[in-house]
Amino acid sequence: MPCAPLIDPFARPITYLRVSVTDRCDFRCVYCMAEEMTFLPKQEVLSLEELTRLCNAFTDLGVRKLRITGGEPLVRRDILQFFQNMGKRLGDGLDELTLTTNGSQLRRHARALADCGVKRVNVSVDTLDERKFLEITRRGRLAQVLDGIDAAQEAGLSVKINAVALKGVNDHEIVPMAEWCAARGMDLTFIEVMPMGDLGNEDRLDQYLPVSEVRETLARRWTLEDIPLRTGGPARYVRAKETGARIGFITPLTHNFCEGCNRVRVTCTGMLYMCLGQDDSADLRAPLRASESDEPLVETIRGAIARKPKGHDFDYSRQGDFGSVGRHMSVTGG
């Protein structure tokens, strides 16, 4: 018997779930992690079986799109088994299974991901300059990431590049990044840096570059046409008339995209966050481990969705407490 779908207090159906499968990563991007991270004990992290059960429950409740995130999801041991498990739900509740990755492990896994039913991947690349890439990721290996992108395209995966706009860091690369993506047939999305977590070594107020300025820079190079493309996420897209390339903008600070929010996030420990920009959460690990029945899990999910807020409160204009949340981006899963 089908379950009643998840509807939040503002009549928005919840059809998109982002799941972090690990807090670990082989990079240490300055806006995402502290340089010296203390990672979670294994027993606190959901097993692949628990992740499968949780995602199946959400799919039964009407989730149609499942995005796998991290940390870096592809560094988790045996992660392909999880993709195989969820790939079985494609056409049986799920419309799309995809992931966000730093690209470092794509050469190893791209073909297998495609075999699991993954058709699209988002790859985080903030710069094409090797020195800047090392500064941002604290690990480097740009060539390995670019080779991973090659592997993804060779496997038939559609690749979208995500770039965090950072003032004084990669603002001079806006047009070259767009040219590179257009030449490779890849969509590109620029994202405003978000006030997530106290990393202790980066001043995001100084790094903050409004995506409106990114768009203005691109508009001086090409004719930008708004298009109605929606991929289930918060990006708003334009097409560069001269190249045909699609460019997206995610603007949590300069444009509130909450009115149509259809998504929630689950961490690798089973904490459900109803809003990226709020700290309210629900523990799904406890009901998962307390009962073989999914009824307590489903009840907890429904109770959490009933508390989903109308929107977040990111605001850099308040210089001090600007609506930030205390967890690192790597904890929530992007």
User: pLDDT tens-digit profile of 179-219?
Assistant: 999 999 999 999 988 665 554 444 556 788 999 999 999 99
- Residue 290 tokens, joined: 């307390």
Check residue 257 and give its pLDDT: 58
d(CA 74, CA 152): 13
More confident residue, 322 or 290: 290
Q: Does the residue 11 lie in any domain? A: no
Check residue 231 and give its pLDDT: 65
Instruction: Give the single-character DSSP code of 42.
Output: G
Annotated binding site for [4Fe-4S] cluster: 25, 29, 32, 258, 261, 275
Annotated binding site for GTP: 18, 67, 100, 160, 263-265
Q: Does the residue 274 lie in any domain? A: yes
Q: Does the residue 245 lie in any domain? A: yes
Q: Does the residue 3 lie in any domain? A: no
Task: Give the count of beta carbons closer than 10 Å to the beta carbon of residue 225.
Answer: 10
How far is residue 293 from each of residues 5, 45, 71, 270, 290, measured CA to CA in Å? Answer: 19, 20, 29, 17, 9
- Residue 328 tokens, joined: 């690192």
Annotated binding site for S-adenosyl-L-methionine: 31, 71, 124, 194
What number of CA atoms fall less than 13 Å from residue 134's CA on the CB side? 3
Q: Does the residue 152 lie in any domain? A: yes
d(CA 320, CA 297): 38
What number of CA atoms fall less than 13 Å from residue 57's CA on the CB side? 24
How far is residue 322 from each of residues 154, 318, 326, measured CA to CA in Å? Answer: 43, 5, 12
- Residue 255 pLDDT > 60, yes or no? no
Number of domain units in the chain:
1
What mean pLDDT is predicted for residues 82-90?
98
Alpha-carbon radius of gyration of the chain: 19
Annotated binding site: 18, 25, 29, 31-32, 67, 71, 100, 124, 160, 194, 258, 261, 263-265, 275
Q: Does the residue 8 lie in any domain? A: no
For residue 86, name the pLDDT band (cuts at 50, 70, 90).
very high
- Residue 229 pLDDT > 80, yes or no? no
Structural domain boundaries enclosing 186: 16-332
Give the helix/strand (H/E) hosting 66: strand 65-69
What mean pLDDT is predicted for residues 206-233?
88
Cβ 202 vs Cβ 138: under 8 Å: no
Which amino acid is located at 3 in the chain? C
pLDDT tens digits for range 112-169: 999 999 999 999 999 999 999 999 999 989 999 999 999 999 999 999 999 999 999 9
Total residue count of the chain as it appears in this document: 334
d(CA 49, CA 95): 21
For residue 330, name the pLDDT band (cuts at 50, 70, 90).
low
Check residue 4 and give its pLDDT: 86
CATH code for the domain of 66: 3.20.20.70
Q: Does the residue 217 lie in any domain? A: yes
What mean pLDDT is predicted for residues 29-41?
83
β pairing state of 281-283 and 271-273: antiparallel
Check residue 317 and give its pLDDT: 47
SS3 207: helix
The strand order across the sheet containing 263-266 reads: 224-226, 236-240, 246-250, 187-192, 158-165, 120-124, 96-101, 65-69, 16-20, 263-266, 271-273, 281-283
| pTM as predicted | 0.89
Residue 304's Cβ-count burial label (10 Å; 0-12, 13-18, 19+) is: buried
Which amino acid is located at 33 in the chain? M
- Residue 120 tokens, joined: 């699209």
For residue 316, name the pLDDT band (cuts at 50, 70, 90).
very low
Q: Does the residue 9 lie in any domain? A: no
What mean pLDDT is predicted for residues 60-68?
97
d(CA 158, CA 153): 7
